[in-house]
Amino acid sequence: MTQAVRHDSMRARNLGLVLSEVRRSGPVTRAALAEITGLTKTTVSKMVGDLIEAGMVTETGTLRDGERGRPGTAVSLSGERVAALGLEINVDYLSACVVDLTLTVRLRYTQAVDNRVASPVETLARLQKLIHRAVDEARSAGLVIAGSTLAVPGPVNGGLLHSAPNLGWHDVRVGDLLVPDGGLPGVEVENEANLAALGELWFGTGHGDFLHVSGEIGIGAGLVVGGALFRGARGLAGELGHVVVSPDGPACRCGSRGCLEQYAGQEALLRAAGLPAPAPRTAPDATAPDLTASGLTVSDGATPDGATPDGAAPDGAAAISGAPVAPGAPVAPGGVAELVARLRDGDGPALEACARAGRALGIALTSATHLLDPGTIVLGGVFAPLFPWISGPVRDAMTERLTAMRHAVPEITVSRLGADAATLGAAGQVIHRVIADPGLHLAAARTAPAPR
């Protein structure tokens, strides 16, 4: 019995080793895989066969083996079968994406909705609809969803969302409130700022050392050091939004005073610019935008008809495309779009609001730089569309405060993912786990229905 368990766990580990190596080195021959992993050619061939059968690996032509010179059939990672679902609940939107094993984004939905005026159950019911829709689309394309991760705007420890002050949620076991969709595994829950940093690592600029700042209604951050996320002792690190900028400043929803969010959060920014914060679009139970009607917006600007995912062909023939999402300026949600328009017009109060927010962000990032020593600082979320106006004041404040002691201020760059970073990171986390331990998913992937 012990022997059998050992054998199984060793097989699982070796299968993960082989698939990880295919990802890193592919296209690669079975002989080269045997040499790199130290496994026998027989073992590698059997495992590659299983992975091909599960649609995780595919043969991609002939390759001459480097050391021996003999030609062999090369294999690469395949995105045809296994995929992951990334989800996000943020203060003013819900979103979902489907990412395949090659980290190609296959589907991406964003639904603008004010979750502050809805109860957790109502918000989760909307999310559930989004899940159904995404899973259905994915299945139509012959994809098997191996798992899902949900990004939430607050610190999470062991599945428990401690507090999302901007949503007014406290101690919610979000994952338990979501009913897994027919055969879908349970939803894992993680802090959105952490997932956004991982999204930036896997889908964005791909530096190994950076602090990713997620500017939303709240402000979070995720630190990546040496290609790994820094989580702190209990996974609660990176709450940049509640770094104290001015100790006697305005009261914050978190119970403290003078937190960064009170100066550079989306609401504070819009208010300072003389713009209304995005009004709740709906009363909780009345005219909530129906997902199947018109509440759905698509983040690349396609018509919000409630069914068109990113990359869809105009005639609707290919609902899910394998094409990667084109990089480009992220779309500013709600009131931020109006703020950007005013900034482009050189509107005084809008420029002044950005200067003030940038100065506060620069002060908080000065403290963060002293404590965390990040390589680069990547401004994401709403700070991405605002980057041309906010990055100067941030850099000025940091230069003034840091130069004498550190010589160089960290480089400040813009995220190309904007508000999509967390949802993509959520899906990417599932994919990385599948690649590390593909054995758990072989059976399900083998029996997937063919694309409709």
Residues that bind a copy of itself (CB under 8 A): 155, 162-163, 165, 209, 221, 225, 230-240, 242-247, 254-257, 363-364, 366-368, 370-375, 400-407
State the residue for tokens 């895989």. 33
Cα(345)–Cα(335) distance, integer angstroms: 15
From residue 211, alpha-carbon distances to 92, 228, 415 in Å are 24, 11, 11
Q: What is the amino acid identity at position 349? A: P
- Minimal distance, residue 274 CB to a copy of itself, in Å: 24
Closest distance to a copy of itself from the beta carbon of 4 (Å): 22
Calpha distance 4→7 (Å, rounded): 5
CB of 366 to a copy of itself, least distance (A): 6
Least spacing, CB of residue 259 vs a copy of itself, in Å:
9
Integer angstrom CA distances of residue 250 from 121, 258, 283, 355: 31, 5, 28, 18
CA angle 43, 48, 52 (to 5 degrees): 155
72 or 230: whose CB is closer to a copy of itself? 230
Q: Contact, 65 vs 29, CB < 8 A?
A: yes
- Nearest distance from residue 365's CB to a copy of itself, in Å? 10
Instruction: Report the nearest approach of a copy of itself to the CB of residue 158 (Å).
Output: 13
Cis previous bond, 280, omega within 30: no
Give whichever of 69 and 226 is closer to a copy of itself, judged by the CB atom: 226
Whose Cβ is closer to a copy of itself: residue 26's or residue 165's?
165
Helix ranges restricted to H, 54-140: 120-140
Minimum Å gap between C-beta 94 and a copy of itself is 23
- 52 vs 252: CA distance, rounded Å: 53
Smallest separation (angstroms) from a copy of itself to the CB of 162: 7
Judged by CB, which is closer to a copy of itself: 245, or 390?
Answer: 245
Could you give the C-alpha distances from 393 to 325, 386, 396, 409, in angstroms and in order?
31, 12, 5, 13
**Angle value at C-alpha 249, between 246 and 255, nearest 5 degrees:** 105
Query: Minimal distance in Å, beta carbon 221 to a copy of itself?
Result: 8
Q: Which is nearer to a copy of itself, 255 or 276 (CB)?
A: 255
Helical H segments across 89-150, by residue range: 120-140
Residue whose CB is less far from a copy of itself, 157 or 303: 157
- Compute the least distance from the CB of residue 260 to a copy of itself, in Å: 9
- Whichever of 191 and 429 has its CB closer to a copy of itself, that residue is 191
Helix, coil or strand: residue 433: helix
Q: Please report, for residues 193, 240, 324, 339, 370, the alpha-carbon distance to residue 236 in angstroms, rounded to integers and kept in the order given.
A: 10, 11, 32, 32, 19
Q: Which residues pair with residue 189 across a beta bridge?
A: 150
Whether residue 268 contacts residue 260, with contact meaning beta carbons closer than 8 Å, is answered with no
| Selection from 422, 369, 366 nearest residue 393 by Cα | 366
For a copy of itself, the closer CB: 245 or 332: 245
Spatial contact of 332 and 343, defined as CB atoms under 8 Å apart:
no
Contact 424, 203 (CB under 8 A): yes
Of the pair 81, 212, the CB lying nearest a copy of itself is at 212
CB of 84 or CB of 361, closer to a copy of itself: 361
Helix (H, G, I), strand (E, B) or coil at 379: strand
Shortest distance (Å) from residue 35 CB to a copy of itself: 17
The identity of residue 82, as a single letter, is V
Instruction: Name the nearest CA neighbour of 113 among 277, 297, 253, 292.
Output: 297
Which C-beta is closer to a copy of itself: that of 181 or that of 267?
A: 267
